[in-house]
Amino acid sequence: METRLLVFGGSGLVGSHFIKIYRSKFLIKAPLINEVDILNKDQLDLALEDFRPDVTVNFAAFTNVQGAEEQKGGRSGLCYLINVRGAKNIADACSKKGVYLIHISTDYVFNGTKSDAPYTEEDTPDPKNWYGQTKYFAEQEVLNSGCKFSIVRIAMPFSPHYELKKDIARFFLEQLNRNRKIKAISDARVTPIFVEYVANALFAIIKKRPPGLFHVVSTNWTTPFEFAKLLAKEFNLDASLVEPITLDEYNKDKKAPILKYSWLDPTKFIREFGDGILATVEENIKVFRQEIEKD
């Protein structure tokens, strides 16, 4: 029998790509906000009752880190409402109906000061900005809801096409294609992931439905500076356009500073699901190029 998936935030950068790849493998319902508002508990309960999903996936999030900082501490701002209240409502509805929940979270639940090794699921969150704080609150709401769940933390997802938001890969690529110089941070460590690898990891989780927390990222780390140079090399563009800048310089005018070490360790996911689902940064970029060229 076909697995039934109820997806919230399905029009977002990660959710839309997941649906595109896996709509033929699952029976997917991805209501828009005018159909089901995640801030409305009655609508959520009804959606779960009507569709009877096997799994609910919550991609819905307010992800504008700088915009979130302007709402800092506010529980009536969109960032808190979507990231925390919405997540709580979804988790509570799943708990009532006995539905397995996959909740998407972020590297920004950490403080970005761990320099010796990437963050594992055992590390204690300590968010440094309002976006990260609301995502950590959301994780706690899921944990406390009593539903069967996995929380999937991703970092710097990038997509071949997504008009509503420019990710780091497409921003760098656009600049390189226009022969414009890029100043990229050379002293921050990151584990970016192409959305196709996120989708494949979620497919594995849906099939197995284990409980717990998983980091789903590339299997090695890079810096934004090296990432831009790798993109230039993969697309046969001019890597000399990429210039290094320190994190301190980059953060000068930022309300919410970019974290220095926002790297995650995917070892637990690989142990649970095996090799071959996640890949290196270099492989992520290669598949990213193939997807762009295919379209």
Mean pLDDT, residues 5-30 taken together: 97
Q: What values do phi and psi take at 36, rounded to 5?
A: -140, 115
| Res 272 pLDDT > 90 | yes
Report helix, strand or coil for 218: coil
- pLDDT at position 163, please? 83
pLDDT in tens, 155-164: 999 999 888 8
The b/e string for 44-73 (b: 16+ C-beta within 10 A; e otherwise) is: beebbeebebbbbbbbbbbbebebbbebbe
Q: CA 16, 158, 266, 104 torsion: positive or negative?
A: negative
Q: 220-241, pLDDT tens digit by residue? A: 999 999 999 999 999 999 999 9
**In 3-state terms, what secondary structure has residue 212?**
strand
pLDDT digits (tens, 9 = 90+) for 173-182: 999 999 999 9
pLDDT above 90: residue 93 = yes
Q: 54 in helix, strand or coil?
A: coil
What is the mean pLDDT of the segment spanning 111-120?
97
Under the banding of pLDDT at 50, 70 and 90, the label for residue 171 is very high
Q: What is the pLDDT of residue 164?
A: 83
pLDDT of residue 21: 95
- Whether residue 138 has pLDDT greater than 90: yes
Spatial separation of the C-alpha atoms in residues 254 and 250, rounded to whole Å: 8
What band does 114 get if pLDDT is binned at 50, 70 and 90? Answer: very high
**Quick check: pTM over 0.75?**
yes
Average pLDDT over every residue of 263-290: 98
Contact 8, 90 (CB under 8 A): yes
Tell me the β-bridge partners of 222.
Answer: 190
Question: What span, in angstroms and rounded, lies between the C-alpha atoms of 68 and 106?
Answer: 14
**What domains are defined for the chain?**
4-294 (3.40.50.720)
Mean pLDDT of 21-45: 96
